[in-house]
């Protein structure tokens, strides 16, 4: 499959992840009387990934996350030469989704970007008021285990056909744990799209949501082969 087509799939997949996940947070989480809350948002993120894994997994591998792509490079599951194209497509998909979400959300009277627009944050901008160190550790650990799930579920020795379910449920669990701490990133592209529209503090704190997920993913790429054996070559 040409790299251009795989990058296009990554753009579409990341668009769906950000639009579905962040859209649930912005539009539905606190909807009067019928809001879906943290659990609903967590499930929305998991469902977006699960559905896209089935839709584009056979095309691009459905990374839809720069940290996942980095982790797969480190784990020798993905060629480093193709990493820039994937990351660019993922970030552009996240920005496009955030733009569409902004158009929809701003159509309601009283909409205000001061609410954060589903941006990730630490300190005063953490949903639960967690410190920078707490948020840094949380994002590293959560992304680490996300990549362990991905590397294990997509290993050719694992039961075939079930990887999207395991990975989607894994992302749901990650959000159930992480939303109160950082609003859950584990995905630099997902963090970048909303931050560009929220501006201010969201952009100032964006660095953490690139550094921590990439560190966690890279650690998983190093550690998984140590206990699982030689990785299988697979996109």
- For residue 233, being part of any structural domain is answered with no
Q: In the structure encoding, which two tokens stand for residue 205, read together?
A: 């704190």
- For residue 116, being part of any structural domain is answered with yes
pTM to 2 decimal places:
0.94
- For residue 204, being part of any structural domain is answered with yes
Range of the domain at 162: 3-228
- For residue 235, being part of any structural domain is answered with no
Between helix 188-198 and helix 83-105 the angle, nearest 10°, is 40
- For residue 203, being part of any structural domain is answered with yes
Q: In the structure encoding, which two tokens stand for residue 222, read together?
A: 């190093």
Q: What is the CATH number of the domain that holds 113?
A: 1.20.1080.10
- For residue 221, being part of any structural domain is answered with yes
d(CA 36, CA 57): 28
- For residue 216, being part of any structural domain is answered with yes
Condensed to tens digits (0 to 9), the pLDDT of residues 168-214 reads 999 999 999 999 999 999 999 999 999 999 999 999 999 999 999 99
Question: Does residue 19 surpass a pLDDT of 90?
Answer: yes
- For residue 234, being part of any structural domain is answered with no
Cβ neighbours, 10 Å, residue 157: 9
Cβ neighbours, 10 Å, residue 145: 17
Domains contained in the chain, number: 1
Q: What average pLDDT does the segment 134-146 reach?
A: 98
Q: Which helix (H) or strand (E) holds 158?
A: none
């Amino acid at each position: 499959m040409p790299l251009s087509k795989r990058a296009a799939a990554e753009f579409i997949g990341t668009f769906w992840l950000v639009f579905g996940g962040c859209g649930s947070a912005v539009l539905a989480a606190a909807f009067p009387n019928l809001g879906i809350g943290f659990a609903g948002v967590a499930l929305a993120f998991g469902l977006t990934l699960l559905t896209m894994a089935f839709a584009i997994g056979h095309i691009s591998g459905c990374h839809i996350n720069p940290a996942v792509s980095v982790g797969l490079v480190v784990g020798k599951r993905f060629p480093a030469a193709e990493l820039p194209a994937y990351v660019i497509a993922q970030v552009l998909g996240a920005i496009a989704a955030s733009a569409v979400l902004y158009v929809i959300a701003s159509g309601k009277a009283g909409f205000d970007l001061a609410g954060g627009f589903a941006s990730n944050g630490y300190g005063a901008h953490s949903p639960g008021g967690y410190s920078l160190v707490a948020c840094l550790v949380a994002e590293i650990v959560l992304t680490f285990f996300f990549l362990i799930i991905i590397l294990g579920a997509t290993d050719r020795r694992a039961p075939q056909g079930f990887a999207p379910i395991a990975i989607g449920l894994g992302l749901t669990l990650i959000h159930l744990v992480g939303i109160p701490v950082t609003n859950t990133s584990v995905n630099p592209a997902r963090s970048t799209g909303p931050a560009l529209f929220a501006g201010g503090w969201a952009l100032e704190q964006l660095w953490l949501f690139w550094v921590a997920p990439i560190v966690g993913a890279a650690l998983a790429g190093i550690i998984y082969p140590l206990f699982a054996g030689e990785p299988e070559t697979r996109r």
